[in-house]
Amino acid sequence: MEEVNRISDLPEGLLQRIFYFLSQEDAVRTSVLSKSWRYIWCTRPNFDLSEPNFKGNKHQFISAVENTLQRYTDPNGLSLEEFNLTLSLLGGGDDNH
């Protein structure tokens, strides 16, 4: 008997609404559940970008912020309802942490 994967068949808008209620970490974790979900977390309507929790230097963080915002400025129907950005102002000047 063939198994049916009903969750992967849900419309992307509904999946985004479901992902809205997940923490960002949990949303990212779902990317391993299905090939069609690999990048769905990137289109969720709320994003929380925190420089202190980012694994990389300041330039990589800025690039990640720009790439995230770019996804919502393209005419592809995505809407961003919440956006939180946390920056570290007291970084000691080390861009290679």
Domain ranges of the chain: 7-86
* pLDDT on residue 34: 79
Q: Sign of dihedral through CA atoms 21, 76, 60, 65?
A: negative
What is the full per-residue pLDDT of the chain (97 aa) written as tens digits? 566 677 778 887 788 888 889 888 888 888 888 787 788 887 788 888 888 777 778 888 888 888 888 877 766 667 788 888 888 776 554 544 4
Tokens of 41: 């977390």
Q: Sign of dihedral through CA atoms 48, 51, 53, 55?
A: positive
50 neighbors 15 (Cβ within 8 angstroms): no
19 class by beta-carbon count within 10 Å (0-12 exposed, 13-18 middle, 19+ buried): buried
* pLDDT on residue 55: 78
Residue 50 zone, left/alpha/beta (φ > 0; ψ -120 to 50; rest): beta
Q: Taking the complete model, does pTM exceed 0.85, yes or no?
A: no
SS3 50: strand
